[in-house]
Every structure is written in C-alpha cells, then in structure tokens.
Amino acid sequence: MSRFALITRRTVVAAALLLGPGVRPGAAQSPGDALNADDGTGAVKVCSPVAMPRWRSMTPVPKTWTFLDCMGFSGEMGATHFQLGCLFANVTPHAQKYAWGAMVPIEKSAMAKAQPPVPNCGW
C-alpha cells in the first residue's frame, strides 16, 4: 500500500470517528478530494463551532475551506464562537498531534481576525 493510500485511509477513519456513526467510511471523499490539507503530515482541517458554555462540535472539512467558510458554517449551526484546527497523523515522536487557533466570536468584525492554528494545515 502506498504512503498516500495509507494516509488517506487513516484520514477517512479519523473523519468517520469524528463525524459519528451516521457516516460510513465508504461514503468518504475520494483520494483526489481527500481531507488532507498536507499529505506529508496527514493533516486534516477541522472547523469547530462553539456555543459557550453549552456545546462544541468538531467537523473535518475539505482543504478548500477558508476562515469565512468555517465562520459561516458555525453561525448556521447556532454557535456563538468558532475555532480553526488541525489534526495530524504523521508527526515526530512526542510532538502534539493537534493544533487550535484562538476562539473567535461570530460577528462582523471577526472577518478581519483570522486565527489559524500553529502549525497551520492550510487555513
């Protein structure tokens, strides 16, 4: 199995776990549309709507999503805030396998405050 196929397979499994039992791994995107933002690290972009202090959601999103896509999606979900995140499959030993940007309120002024995570996976 090629390295890309293995990374894509891991991404599909991670996405299925994050999205819950209603999503079948067979229904995932094709390798050409993979959720990997960076094939070298196996990174997955994550949009996290938050309605403080009641709930938080984490949704793996396609690499084409932008800060504004996540903000719009979060607003449609009824959230008051959102965060941009990255989940990494391939990191050096003892490295953190996730990264989050700052929590941003959903408001008009937020459009000038993109808060990508560090390291960034394509936000």
pLDDT single digits (tens) 14-53: 444 343 333 333 333 333 333 334 566 788 999 999 998 8
Q: For a pLDDT cut of 70, what percent of the chain falls above it?
A: 67
Classify residue 58: in a domain, yes or no.
yes
For residue 75, give its domain range.
43-111
Classify residue 10: in a domain, yes or no.
no
Classify residue 35: in a domain, yes or no.
no
User: What are the φ/ψ torsions at residue 72 (nearest 5 degrees)?
Assistant: -65, -45
Please give the DSSP secondary-structure letter assigned to residue 79. Answer: -
Classify residue 119: in a domain, yes or no.
no
Domain count, the chain: 1
Classify residue 33: in a domain, yes or no.
no
How far is the C-alpha of 58 from the C-alpha of 78, rounded, in Å? Answer: 14
Sequence-ordered list of residues with C-beta below 8 angstroms from that of 5, at least 6 positions apart, any chain: 31
Classify residue 70: in a domain, yes or no.
yes
Give the confidence band of 108 by pLDDT, cuts at 50, 70, 90.
confident
